[in-house]
Structure 1
Amino acid sequence: MNFFEKITGSDMTKEMKSFQARAKVLPAEYQAAWGEMTNNLWIHGDFTGRNLMPILDSALELLEVASADGQSVEEVLGDDIEGFCAALVGDDGAKTYRDKWRDQLNKNVAKKLGGLK
């Protein structure tokens, strides 16, 4: 990845297009599960989402292998896709981008208020 790709995020756009092309060849129930998984995983990303690319790749590979083996989505992911996604990113301790922004805001406010004394 060169500097331009990192700044513009074009490398991630290419990777996401690749993921979408791979997902399109899956059966319909797997495509729906993939869509739900991406929606649930993006909230755990950092500002750019780069930390999610390996996780998304592994999740899609899991769906591809399960589909090839003839397993159902429920057999692979269970009934709770949101819970499965939370487990992928670290379960209870996983912070969303909202949590990270909230922590940053609280630190900045505390620093400003501490400087007023």
Structure 2
Amino acid sequence: MRIRDIIEGKKEWRAHVARVKALPQDYQIVYKEIQKYLFKVGPVELTEGTGLLSGLVDLFEEGAASGKGVLEVTGRDVAAFCDDLIKDSKTYADVYRESIDHEVYKAVNKNANKK
């Protein structure tokens, strides 16, 4: 990664954070909880730019502009809303699951070849 890419990425992130801070307080709270949730469970591509999070801010800005409460936008089950956001994305749990399967397969085949 080049220095210019890092600087550009930081500029994009700062602009993103400014958009979040401009949201109404209830939207900010829910955004931060969703962000924490997504950083814990995945998806893998979440760290590649701000695509998913930026789309979430777009959705929240639209909801706030139309006078909706944040839970009218997400629904009362915010974790289910998050899961729906990433349902087609590869998560860190998926990567870990594949790693375990790979290691078990390797170990089983290694033992089978010894016999």
**Superposition TM-score, scaled by structure 2 size:** 0.77
TM-aligned CA deviation for residue 94 of structure 1: 5.2
Give the one of 73, 76, 80 matched to 1:79: 76
Larger Rg: 2
**Partner AA of 1:18 in structure 2:** A
Using a 3 Å threshold, how does the CA distance of structure 1 residues 54 and 70 change in structure 2: closer, same or farther?
same
Q: Considering only aligned residues, what root-mean-square deviation do their CA atoms show, in Å?
A: 2.7
Do structure 1's residue 107 and structure 2's residue 102 form an aligned pair?
A: yes
State the Cα deviation string for residues 87-111 of structure 1 (Å, max 9, x = none).
Answer: 1111xx6553033123113203422
State the Cα deviation string for residues 32-54 of structure 1 (Å, max 9, x = none).
Answer: 0110111122222217722x732
**Superposition TM-score, scaled by structure 1 size:** 0.76
Q: Which 5+ residue runs of structure 2 have no aligned equivalent?
A: none
Deviates more, 1:35-44 or 1:65-74: 35-44
Do structure 1's residue 28 and structure 2's residue 55 form an aligned pair?
A: no
Aligned length: 111
